[in-house]
Amino acid sequence: MAEKIIRVLLAKPGLDGHDRGVRVIAKGLRDAGMEVIYLGLHQTPEDIVEAAIQEDVDVIGLSSLAGAHMTIFPKVIELLKEKNAEDILIVGGGIIPEDDLKSLEDQGVDKLFLPGTTITEIAEFIRSKMDSRAA
């Protein structure tokens, strides 16, 4: 039997056009043995949730460098709940002020990664969450 490979959806939501960071993450998670589906720039929360469902991903990673995180991240979570898909792990990263961190995590973001985080930390976080779920 083939093994379970972790599938991750990465997206740049909203009008933010900076995708170097997310491409580095994509390469890093790929090298950590995951299948990374990249949606590209300018994605709406609806696009992201629909793609996550079609692709049956384990994790959604949102990259935000332009300040829309407080609007978009909670919307993604709300839509996932609506679609009965809140079991998908939500992580985010980018420029997110400290004041917003707790609020987003309270609203259901599983983990936010700030500048300076290593890819190994991100991959290990995802893997440990998946392992605890499988157990």
Partner 1 sequence: MEEWTFSQTGGGVLKGKAMNRQDLADRFRAGDRRAVARIISLIEQGDPLGTSLLAELYDPSKRAIRIGLTGAPGVGKSTLVNSFASILEKQKKKIGVVAIDPSSPFTKGAFLGDRVRMQDIKGTNVFVRSMATRGSTGGLSWPAWLTTAVLEAFGFDTIVIETVGVGQVDVEIRELVDTTCVVLQPEAGDSMQFLKAGLMEIADIYVVNKADKPGTNAMVADLKDFVKLITVRENGWRPPVVLTIANTGKGLDELIRAIDSHKGFLEQTKELDEKRKARIKRQLKQHFYEKMENEIWRAEWSDTLVQAAVNRIISGGDALKEAEELAASLIAGPNPV
Chain contacts with partner 1 (rule: CB under 8 A) = 1-5, 7, 26-27, 29-40, 46-47, 50-51, 53-56, 58, 83-85, 87-88, 133-134
Nearer to partner 1, 55 or 105 (CB): 55
Nearer to partner 1, 3 or 99 (CB): 3
* Closest separation in Å from C-beta 58 to partner 1: 7
Closest CA to 22 of 40, 44, 49, 47: 40
Nearer to partner 1, 34 or 65 (CB): 34
* Closest separation in Å from C-beta 37 to partner 1: 5
Number of neighbouring beta carbons within 10 Å of residue 30: 13
* Closest separation in Å from C-beta 90 to partner 1: 13
- The phi-psi region of residue 114 (left if phi > 0; otherwise alpha if psi is between -120 and 50; otherwise beta) is beta
Nearer to partner 1, 16 or 58 (CB): 58
Distance CA 117, CA 135 (A): 27
Name residues whose C-beta falls within 8 Å of residue 93's C-beta, 6 or more positions apart in sequence.
21, 25, 61, 62, 63, 64, 112, 113, 114, 117, 122
* Closest separation in Å from C-beta 102 to partner 1: 26
